[in-house]
Amino acid sequence: MGTSRAAARRLATAAAYGGGSVGLLGGALWGVMKTEASLARKTIGDATGKPPSGDGVYGRELMGDVIDFAMLGDSAGAGYGVASGLDTPAALIGEALSNITGHPVRAACHAFVGAQTSDLDGQIDRALAYEPKVAAIVVGTNDVTHAVPPAESVRRLGAAVRRLRDAGCEVVVGTCPDLGTIEPLRQPLRSFARAWSRHLAARQTVAVVEAGGSSVSLGSLLGHDFAIAPDEFFSDDRFHPSETGYVSMVTAMLPAIARAGGVDDEDDEALAYTPGTVLPVSFAAKRAAHQSGTEVSGAMVGGRSRGPRGRWAAIRRLRG
């Protein structure tokens, strides 16, 4: 997520002139979209300032090799809106991962406010200097609000995941949130934002799994809780998560991150996913885009990674 005051205006413009697979709007509907965007801008305001740093070594007292962890992406990865560095996603994951693995974890956040998928290359340049074992990426919102064609966005994401994997780093991607849950967006702008963000999330999953990473559907970050308790899970701007919202995001991603860090499902209760179902990745991606907390990763069937419909993928759903 990025400069949220301008996001609604860009969404309305994208809806009017088209982008990706989302069609063109007529003049009357365009006028409605402009009005809704203006109202949303006044409510959301601007995302300003830099989130506090959560960088550091967690579990210093633990024995064993240090696990280097990198957090990449946009303001949701950086933890925009929290007051303490200890409440940022990098810190929350670093602390939890050290507890689960029994190893100290060195967490470093390279995500920043306003980042798009095209910014991942620069973030990876900085991250690879520390040879991370595990990286988490949360990105996509600003691609939607800037009307980046989904094909370009997912191509860049796939290349980023592949680059990290080639460097020996395991990768977990939190897919684009469902922007249809953003309260200041009214209809029809909200429906447009939901359709585009879900479409991007499904395509992100395919690109990530094909590149050798795992994806976790953040859906509506995570829709049910955010919908029934927006005061608790959203920050004051109703666009970015609150501290509780970031905990929900990390909770959804943590089992996949722990597995990437070398922990088997049976080793810790924190890996709270149900046993998986194996489907072609395109089918798995569509299901994950509509079910928050769904992990999709590569799988083998009969000793083969691909079937007649492409890459095999295993789906795991977060329990609870």
How much is the pTM? 0.74
The mean-pLDDT minimum among 68-72, 90-94, 191-195, 207-211 falls in 191-195
| Catalytic position from the list 197, 214, 240, 248 | 240
Determine the pLDDT at residue 41.
47
Mean model confidence pLDDT for the chain: 75
| Catalytic position from the list 237, 242, 292, 297 | 237
Could you count the other beta carbons within 10 Å of the beta carbon of residue 98? 24
HSE value, Cβ hemisphere, 13 Å, CA-based, for 137 = 37
**AA identity, residue 219:** G
Average pLDDT over residues 205-233: 73
297 part of the active site: no
Determine the pLDDT at residue 317.
65
DSSP characters for the chain?
A: ---HHHHHHHHHHHHHH-BTTB----HHHHHHHHHHHHHHHHHH----S-PPP--EEE-TT--SPPEEEEEEESHHHHTTT-SSGGGSHHHHHHHHHHHHHSS-EEEEE---TT--GGGHHHHHHHHGGG--SEEEEE--HHHHHTT--HHHHHHHHHHHHHHHHHTT-EEEEEPPP-GGG-TTPPTTHHHHHHHHHHHHHHHHHHHHHHTT-EEE--TTSSHHHHHH-HHHHB-TTSSSB-HHHHHHHHHHHHHHHHHHTT--GGG-TT--BPPPEEEEHHHHHHHHHTSTTEEEEE--BTTBSEETTEEEEEEEEB--
Cis upstream peptide for 188 (omega within 30°):
yes
pLDDT band at 138 (very low <50, low <70, confident <90, very high): very high
**CA distance readout (Å), 44 to 33, 47, 63:** 16, 9, 46
| Catalytic position from the list 4, 68, 74, 75 | 75
The mean-pLDDT minimum among 57-71, 89-103, 257-271 falls in 257-271
CA distance 188 to 15: 10
CA distance 235 to 246: 10
CA distance 267 to 276: 17
User: Does the pLDDT of residue 219 top 50, yes or no?
Assistant: yes
Average pLDDT over residues 258-274: 62
Determine the pLDDT at residue 40.
42
Determine the pLDDT at residue 131.
94
**Closest listed residue to residue 140, CA positions, set 90, 202, 88, 187:** 202
Q: Which domains does the chain have, with CATH numbers?
A: 4-272 (3.40.50.1110)
pLDDT digits (tens, 9 = 90+) for 149-189: 889 999 999 999 999 999 999 999 999 887 766 665 656 66
CA distance 175 to 64: 32
